[in-house]
A and B are shown apart, each in its own frame.
Chain A
């Protein structure tokens, strides 16, 4: 016993060297486990050595115990370290195998889209909502009275020529403009103030379909009736609108024009957003017509139920199709109605 124990004393160093070499040499978790069991398992070398502790003379026990425990602890740490190493290596290998060709296409999402006119109409609405306007609606199939007579355009008025209408009966037609909504809104609101609405919608004229015309197109009407509304307010409002739509550098100007239901009447031009007003192939002069507008005619205010001595108002109308074509540089109006998905899906 003595002998052996003295031998063992000498052996601690060799044992540790051998065991650590085996731990380091384990290539897989399974091999490592084998090594661990051989030394640290229930019947392992270290375990067995410790089991002999009781048979040693008492004075040798502390030293023996210290040596054995140190060996066990050292080996356990070595095994844990090695396990972590092997796991990392194995994971790295697995991930390497899972590598994909990242240039392959992604799984396609079915892409829906909203019509370009929707985007533009939403933008227009957002701007005017921010200025305190509400969004009004009116019927597309309308009485001649609302579409014309109430707007100061009697049966034989020459301006009916310019707007050849699609009629259902003598008295009912497809509205040629969004302006009849002015009358409907005023009649519903009177005598409350202010009347402050925009009215986007479809309008119809007896036109053949070509790159710049269609029998159906879209306008947005605007109306403000209140005490003390001026033509300068009209200009300022549309200037504000144009700047939010086209950018803060945009300038506007009012040019004399004629509409039976406004007086004075004007065309509002804005500097072309494409060239910034320098002149380009789209605008020519640097200016683009943006809206027909004017001060609500006193007779129209009266029809709407307001006293033109008490209140004034301004109104404007814009072509949404034109705004859309300009925004997206669309050169053929027909594309808006053809509904070719190769076109529509561009407006995601």
Chain B
């Protein structure tokens, strides 16, 4: 909302400069985004008298004018018709600067010098090419040549750009509305236009008034009174085509609207001024010259003023004549009944449409207009007809139309000031400040509320009709707060019921997991929850893979981000690819975040949001170093990370068994289980999948269902006594067929090592000389210890021999 200060001053005295006004409005809840000086660039625009006018010697249709501009006599070549010697016109001297910054100079037309130019109103106000049918702006004859037109009109103003919140948009989308706020702040009074003040109707019952000439010429029927509680029509006759006076054009321009014709300009002008949208119909183009307010019929069409053909539906309220829709109620008029230069009679519509209806129509058609913006916030029903009369009287003053007597005013609903209760004690109790009852009543009074304090502890407050946003006590408290000043609210700390702050077990463990993964050397990533629909194909998932059951956003901005992930890997792989594309030699990322697993599809209930933990890595695990290079990220490195994480969370024992995920290397992947719980999978990316993400080389990846991990995790830690007796270490190396996993051998060792076997560690895996094909040699170091005595060699030898024998007998291992 743009508010020219010059315009505002017509309605209210302002004791402050623009900066201070902006500050005070902002603190009262009307945020001033910016203060802009308009017209500062203008220069060299003056009144000039035509001394002489004669045809151009060589070009027909052009004229040579001699002008006296207060400084000199100048020659201008013009094509403008209808000029005569003696007229005072708007003139831009050579070197003049027009709105928008265009600078004029000297030119030659057909060999004749032309200095500067004579201006039409459009050129003077907008700095743009004049409109069709628009001549040079002729000023009153008494204006002295050389008069600065920027001051004369004026063409300069300071504009406040308000960023209105939804609640204040109800009553502040007009100069009058802002003026009321200013008056509330200064304690001053608002000056209303006389016609508006006279015809303002604070309250009326439902009913129909059809009076005078207007009622004989036209009629109004409202078929849907729920959506249109009031519709009024005035009739103008003897309408002639004209442009608005410069001050009107200038204000429209500064407020951000385009001047068109006088009639249209005045409807816009009054909307900006009073907040009441108006629409002018060419009365003679209305079938049977009457108005029907009704819902559109499905499939009905209307070509709106912007030249668009629009298909309507029964949710939309339209203004129709006897046969067809002629306007979208409260949104935009139709092209066929718009006012044109040929228009002789105008039906001036001023109505009160329900916000919901206007909003729905405007949204459905994607049509945002000034009228819709005001109706959908709620207008002042008391000013509907008064605003219409104000517009008509302006047109009469301009001499472009004559208002016929009477009016049509159809009110399916009545209206009037509403009442709201207010307990003055509640104001201080909610705001937490000491405020006197007189201050409360004063603040409300200045905002136009009627305050009846006779109830003592409970007041009756009358809400003005222009405050559609105020309904209950809390709204009144807010009004008092903003006028009294938010700055006056003190800072206190709550002194209420005792409360202790703590994190839940899941919250603590999740933070711990993230710290562990970082400690393991991975960088925490943050990826979007939305992924591309082709991610599942790129992972090579089967057609019936449950991870394909994903929720899709119905209205995504980009299809790239339209599916709610069921795995963290697609997002992480894309980020890994970003790093590779930037030639970063190594990267390891992890994320602990939600995936979204729907129940039925399409969903009627919310999906299960499960926490997953995933990690991906490529490249050397550590930076190359002069002491030797580091291993590449692979299955075993990520497996180590997983083991570290699960250990730190107290989850175990954990088993890794070969698995068959389609997106992982078939020979380098394992399912991670703990008892009967499946925790996740770890492996290396299938080369096909890596290619699908433009990833080069070996990529390790793992994903855990972290919600399950959390359920199994424990924060319990028990101290194990330190050993009191020495340990005995024995190694065993044996050749084992490849198809027997090491885990089997370990299981045999543990079983036969029994209570004395404290720990075992694989320290060598060897293939090559001396080892049969399809076999490898495994070498374990076994630590034996007894908790209650020093073991003798004989005792250890006995157990160890049992272990060796078992490896031979149970696994067919060849001892080395």
Contacts and interface: CB of A to CB of B under 8 A. Distances in A.
B607 interface: yes
B491 interface: yes
A128 to B, nearest CB: 7
A319 interface: no
A4 interface: no
B489 A254 contact: yes
Q: Which of B27, B356, B491, B606 has the most CB of A within 10 A?
A: B491
Contacts of A110: 520-521, 588, 621-622
B524 A114 contact: yes
Nearest to B479: A264
A126 B423 CA distance: 39
Given A156-B355, A227-B497, A140 B429 contact: no
A342 interface: yes
A237 B606 contact: no
Contacts of B511: 122
Contacts of B360: 156
A134 B519 CA distance: 27
A228 B429 contact: yes
A125 to B, nearest CB: 8
Contact of A339 (B492, B495, B526, B602): B526
Contacts of A340: 578-579, 582, 584
Interface in A151-193: 156-159, 166-169, 172, 174, 193
B553 interface: yes
Interface in A228-259: 228-233, 235-237, 239-240, 252-258
Given A134-B502, A338-B575, A168 B554 contact: yes
B487 interface: yes
Interface stretch (B165-173, B385-393, B535-543): B165-173
B609 interface: yes
Interface in A113-166: 113-115, 117-118, 122, 125, 128-135, 139-143, 156-159, 166
A206 interface: yes
B501 A167 contact: no
A97 to B, nearest CB: 19
B431 interface: yes
Interface string B150-176: 000000000000000111110000000
B223 to A, nearest CB: 21
Interface stretch (B459-467, B470-478, B748-756): B470-478
B441 interface: no
Q: Interface SS of chain B: helix, strand, loop or mixed? A: loop
Nearest to A233: B494
Interface in B602-620: 602-604, 606-607, 609
A112 interface: yes
Nearest to B596: A141
A125 B523 CA distance: 22
Interface in B528-557: 528-530, 551-557
Contact of A226 (B356, B477, B496, B582): B496
B493 interface: yes
B520 A112 contact: yes
Interface stretch (B12-20, B203-211, B623-631): B623-631
A253 B489 CA distance: 9
Contacts of B525: 115, 339, 344
B491 A113 contact: no
A33 interface: no
Nearest to B523: A344
B472 A298 contact: yes
Nearest to B579: A341
B432 A339 contact: no
B552 A130 contact: no
Nearest to A214: B528
B377 interface: yes
A132 B528 CA distance: 32
B165 A258 contact: yes
Contact of A135 (B503, B621, B625): B503
Interface residues of B, number: 97
A276 interface: no
Contact of B555 (A122, A133, A157, A167): A167
B494 A143 contact: no
A108 B555 CA distance: 48
B430 interface: yes
A169 B499 CA distance: 39
Contact of A202 (B507, B515, B529): B529
A277 interface: no
A114 B528 contact: no
A141 B489 contact: no
B489 A115 contact: no
A167 B515 CA distance: 34
Nearest to B561: A215
A169 B492 contact: no
B444 interface: no
Contacts of A229: 494, 496
Interface in B625-641: 625-627
Contacts of A141: 551, 564, 596, 606-607, 609
B135 to A, nearest CB: 43
Contact of A257 (B165, B494, B507, B627): B165
A280 B197 CA distance: 48
A26 interface: no
A254 B478 CA distance: 13
8 contacts: A114-B515, A125-B503, A140-B596, A168-B564, A236-B494, A239-B491, A256-B27, A339-B525
Given A139-B606, A158-B376, 4 more contacts: A111-B521, A112-B519, A166-B555, A232-B491
